[in-house]
Amino acid sequence: MVLWSLFFLAMLAVAVYANVLPHAELSSKLMEKTKMHYFANAGVERAIFEAENDDTELYDSLYDSWSNNDAAFNNVAIDGGTFSAIKDGAVPGDKPQYGLTDEEGKININKASQQVLKNLFEKVAQVEPEEADAIADSIIDWRDEDDVAHKNGKEDDYYRSLEHPYHCKNSDFEVNEELLEVGGVTPEMFNKIKNYITVYGEGAVNVNTASIPVMLSLGMDEGLAEKIINFRAVSSPRKEGAATEGVFTDASSIIELLTKVESLSGDEVAQMQRIVPLLGVRSDNFKGNITGSYVHEGRVETIVFVYDRKERIVKSWRET
CA-nearest of 93, 66, 76 to 288 is 66
pLDDT-based confidence at 12, cuts 50/70/90?
low
Cα separation, 124 vs 300, whole angstroms = 32
Q: Tell me the residue type at 128.
A: E
Looking at residue 193, its pLDDT comes to: 98
Looking at residue 17, its pLDDT comes to: 52
Strands (DSSP E) along the chain, which ranges? 76-78, 81-85, 101-102, 107-108, 197-198, 205-206, 279-280, 285-294, 300-308, 313-319
Looking at residue 7, its pLDDT comes to: 60
Looking at residue 244, its pLDDT comes to: 47
Task: Indicate the range of 9-13, 91-95, 203-207 predicted with least confidence.
Answer: 9-13
Mean pLDDT of 56-65: 92
Cα separation, 128 vs 135, whole angstroms = 11
pLDDT-based confidence at 238, cuts 50/70/90?
very low
SS3 (DSSP) at 317: strand
Looking at residue 27, its pLDDT comes to: 47
pLDDT-based confidence at 10, cuts 50/70/90?
low
Cα separation, 80 vs 293, whole angstroms = 9
SS (H, E, C) 5-40: HHHHHHHHHHHHHHHHHHHHHHHHHHHHHHHHHHHH
Q: Is the pLDDT of residue 112 over 90?
A: yes
